[in-house]
């Protein structure tokens, strides 16, 4: 129970926020390993590009409540493998969840594969798609990773288009450049770019792959 009844009035009990936080985390699909991706353990000392991306990510969290319902309410990290895109994306998600904002994690390749395998199961397909289409905040991790088919594009368009027209924020990590996203599908690429506005972070350079350091 999350309310106490006092003289006919429902008063939130002290455990309510704890249970709400636990519920947000459970529904997020973010593993315990990913919960450890935080701003305070992200190393941006290697290059100014990383420092700029870190600042945009932290600013996004800082101003999220102000921009959530605006057109430019999303953020995208573009760059090579190991550049910290996923770390910063998850740092944002963890901060938002800690403040009571519901976030859903979508690992692009795994989700796309499962959806295509079950595309004839209408109930399954619609349930999964609605989860990603209607989440308060959606993280799409490694967008368009690997070989891309028409089915992949159609599924992502359905999700992005719904969120675009309903002003629902997305957090995107992707190895592609903006021009490459547009080439894959202009409707998807242009919508994401518009949704992100000033929050587009390009992280590229030989020394930026943290997996190869030390």
Distances from the Cα of 62 to the Cαs of 5, 56, 66, 98, 172, in angstroms?
A: 35, 10, 9, 13, 18
Total domains present in the chain: 1
d(CA 161, CA 167): 10
Nearest residue to 145 via CA among 192, 190, 79: 79
Q: What is the DSSP string of 124-178?
A: HHHHHHHHHHH-SEEEEEEET-S---HHHHHHHHHHHHHHHHTT--EEEEESS-H
Query: Is there a domain that residue 3 lies in?
Result: no
Look up the domain containing 99 and give its range.
29-212
Query: Model pTM?
Result: 0.85
**Cα 84–chain centre separation:** 14
Structure confidence at residue 45 (pLDDT): 79
Distances from the Cα of 200 to the Cαs of 34, 113, 186, 211, in angstroms?
A: 22, 27, 17, 23
Q: End-to-end alpha-carbon separation of the chain, Å?
A: 51
Q: Which residues of 45-79 are buried (b: 16+ CB within 10 A; e: fewer)?
A: eeeebbeebbebbbebbeebeebbeeeebbbbbbb
Query: Is there a domain that residue 185 lies in?
Result: yes
Query: Is there a domain that residue 16 lies in?
Result: no
C-beta separation of 78 from 85 below 8 A: yes
Query: Is there a domain that residue 133 lies in?
Result: yes
Tokens of 98: 């800690």
Query: Is there a domain that residue 192 lies in?
Result: yes
Query: Is there a domain that residue 36 lies in?
Result: yes
Per-residue pLDDT of the chain (214 residues; tens, 9 = 90+): 454 555 555 555 555 555 665 566 566 767 677 788 899 999 887 778 889 999 999 999 999 999 999 999 999 999 988 788 999 999 999 999 899 898 999 999 999 999 999 989 999 999 999 999 999 999 999 999 999 999 999 999 999 999 999 999 999 999 999 999 999 999 999 999 999 999 999 987 655 555 544 4
d(CA 25, CA 35): 9
Structure confidence at residue 212 (pLDDT): 46
d(CA 209, CA 201): 15
Query: Is there a domain that residue 18 lies in?
Result: no
Task: Map 74-88 to HEC letters.
Answer: CEEEEECCCCCHHHH
CATH code for position 49: 3.40.50.300
Query: Is there a domain that residue 147 lies in?
Result: yes
pLDDT digits (tens, 9 = 90+) for 48-105: 888 999 999 999 999 999 999 999 999 999 998 878 899 999 999 999 989 989 899 9
């Amino acid at each position: 129970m999350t309310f106490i009844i006092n003289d006919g009035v429902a008063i939130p009990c002290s455990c309510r926020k704890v249970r709400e936080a636990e519920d947000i985390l459970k529904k997020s699909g973010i593993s315990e390993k990913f919960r450890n991706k935080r701003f305070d353990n992200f190393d941006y000392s290697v290059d100014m590009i990383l420092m700029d991306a870190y600042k945009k990510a932290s600013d996004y969290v800082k101003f999220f409540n102000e921009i959530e319902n605006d057109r430019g309410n999303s953020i995208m990290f573009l760059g090579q493998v190991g550049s910290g895109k996923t770390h910063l994306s998850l740092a944002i998600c963890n901060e938002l969840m800690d403040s009571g904002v519901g976030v859903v994690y979508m690992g692009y390749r795994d989700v796309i594969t499962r959806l295509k395998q079950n595309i004839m199961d209408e109930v399954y397909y619609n349930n999964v798609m609605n989860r990603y289409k209607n989440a308060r905040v959606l993280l799409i991790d490694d967008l368009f990773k690997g070989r891309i088919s028409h089915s992949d594009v159609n599924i992502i368009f359905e999700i992005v288009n719904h969120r675009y027209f309903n002003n629902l924020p997305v957090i995107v990590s992707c190895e592609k450049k903006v021009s490459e996203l547009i080439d894959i599908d202009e409707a998807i690429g242009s919508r994401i770019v518009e949704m992100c506005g000033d929050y587009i972070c390009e992280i590229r350079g030989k020394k930026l792959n943290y997996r190869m350091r030390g």
